[in-house]
Amino acid sequence: MGVKRAYLVEGGYRLRGEITISGAKNAALPIMASSLLVEGPVVLENVPRVKDVETLIELLQILGAKVTWSEGGSLVIDASELKDSTAPHELVRTMRASILVLGPLLARTGEAKVSLPGGCAIGARPIDLHLKGLEMMGAEIKVERGYIQAKARKLKGARIYLDLPTVTGTENLLMAAALAEGETVIENAAREPEVVDLAKALKEMGVEVEGEGTGIIKVRGTKSPKSFSHRVIPDRIEAGTFMVAAAITNGNVTLKGARADHLEAVVGKLREAGIEVDQQGDSLRVSSWDRPRAVDVRTAPYPGFPTDMQAQFMALMSIARGLCVITETIFENRFLHVNELRRMGADIRLQGQSAVVQGVPYLTGAPVMATDLRAGASLVIAGLVAEGETLVGGVQHLERGYERFLEKLSALGARVKEVEHEVPEDG
């Protein structure tokens, strides 16, 4: 037998009170990678201290950057001297977002070698569009022995149409374009707030960027990117996760810093389900008194309903009055939480890319397994309302992206704690 960490959730407590939303993981990661473009220190505020951030710090250090946390809590990255241009398999294997160093590394040093990310729990997740875009900018790319090997004497601006509005793909191309000669136009670009935040950081660096937040982004590269400081936007997915946690427990919770303008699709669906959401200054207050109404959801690129909120919303719908259909259009295999929710008594049937959720009056606690970050969050949320105890295994997935998750839940009155439990060696 071996010992593994798990979260033990005792259901039945209403969440009440106030917490502050952390900086966005998916904005922090590309902006950290963009520091590779600059010969000089970059100061980033509001970077969440989560595992994925630690992994990228480790990668930046391998490449030669000096990285420190200042006393005030800012992350300082100085990539003045780079000594390597290889992102090794051991690290990329643990975090796909490592691919974000490809564009800036290639732009800065003329070469980059990045381990090709494998498939992951939620889908195949190819990166062909990142590579196609870089090739259009003049890079030569080979895939050899599991590594992407990219070379470019000088990147040149290009007009790049993305078949899909890939988020990290758009980010990689923005960063490559930042040092390229001439103008790059990215069409069918991702419009996510995290892309806009990266564009803001690039502007602070002295790059001309136009159209971020729309489907067409234009970038004019610079020869001499400047040191800059930047405050990362609040995490809309963390905020959405706590909104759903508040709603499922009939709670009354204030989320400081949550930006309603980044959460319109989620807020819209919560209101449709009968949950009250009010903006109060720079906070969002979420309250509810009764089981939610069932509402259909279809994930879509921003400003549509985020795939990163699909699992959490399904937990909420599992106790709704009525039947709804939740359709996942971004990733082909992002329903691994369904079987776990069913073990807690949820009535969910899968039909291709849709889950048909028949709301039940209550869930019951059970041992369940997190298979990815957001699936893990959905199981904790289900545990908050389930009768009895829910033991959520696979906590390392949750720690990748939620800062002080248990602490924040406890501050709102949830009964959650980390425990160690025995598992068979091959389990």
Q: Which residues are catalytic?
A: 120
Residue 307 contacts ligand EPU per CB under 6 A: yes
Residue 228: both structure tokens together: 């800059």
Residue number with CB closer to ligand EPU (117 or 251): 117
Residue 166 contacts ligand EPU per CB under 6 A: yes
Residue number with CB closer to ligand EPU (243 or 319): 243
- Contact mark string toward ligand EPU, 2..41, x via CB under 6 A: ------------------------x--x------------
- On whether the CB atoms of residues 357 and 348 are closer than 8 A, the answer is yes
Going from the C-alpha of 184 to that of each of 180, 195, 229, 312, the distances in angstroms are 8, 16, 24, 37
Stretch that binds ligand EPU, among 5-13, 78-86, 161-169, 319-327 (CB under 6 A): 161-169
The per-residue DSSP string of 196-242 comes to HHHHHHHHHTT-EEE-TTSSEEEEE--SSPPP-EEEPPB-HHHHHHH
Stretch that binds ligand EPU, among 107-115, 126-134, 287-295, 408-416 (CB under 6 A): 126-134
CB 420, min distance to ligand EPU, A = 25
Going from the C-alpha of 9 to that of each of 239, 252, 348, 380, 424, the distances in angstroms are 20, 19, 22, 7, 22
Of 37, 287, 312, nearest to 172 by C-alpha is 37
CB 302, min distance to ligand EPU, A = 7
SS3 348: strand
- Contact mark string toward ligand EPU, 181..200, x via CB under 6 A: -------------x------
- Taking the C-alpha atoms of residue 342 and residue 369, their distance in angstroms, rounded to an integer, is 12
For 158, what's the count of Cα atoms within 13 Å in the CB-facing half-sphere? 17
Residue 394 contacts ligand EPU per CB under 6 A: no
Using CB under 6 A, which of 225, 251, 257, 401 touches ligand EPU? Answer: 401
Going from the C-alpha of 379 to that of each of 142, 292, 370, 422, the distances in angstroms are 41, 18, 7, 20
CB 123, min distance to ligand EPU, A = 5
- On whether the CB atoms of residues 247 and 288 are closer than 8 A, the answer is yes
Stretch that binds ligand EPU, among 164-172, 248-256, 315-323, 381-389 (CB under 6 A): 164-172
Residue 123 contacts ligand EPU per CB under 6 A: yes
Distance of CA 46 to the CA centre of its chain: 15
List CB contacts of 67: < 8 A, sequence separation 6 or more.
57, 60, 61, 75, 76, 77, 78
Residue number with CB closer to ligand EPU (123 or 388): 123
Residue 234 contacts ligand EPU per CB under 6 A: no
SS3 427: coil
Residue number with CB closer to ligand EPU (26 or 287): 26
Residue 298 contacts ligand EPU per CB under 6 A: no
Residue 137 contacts ligand EPU per CB under 6 A: no
CB 300, min distance to ligand EPU, A = 10
Q: What are phi and psi of 354, to 5 degrees?
A: -120, 150
For 31, what's the count of Cα atoms within 13 Å in the CB-facing half-sphere? 36
- Contact mark string toward ligand EPU, 319..338, x via CB under 6 A: -----------xx-------
Site residues, ligand EPU (CB under 6 A): 26, 29, 97, 123, 125-130, 164, 166-169, 194, 307-308, 330-331, 373-374, 401
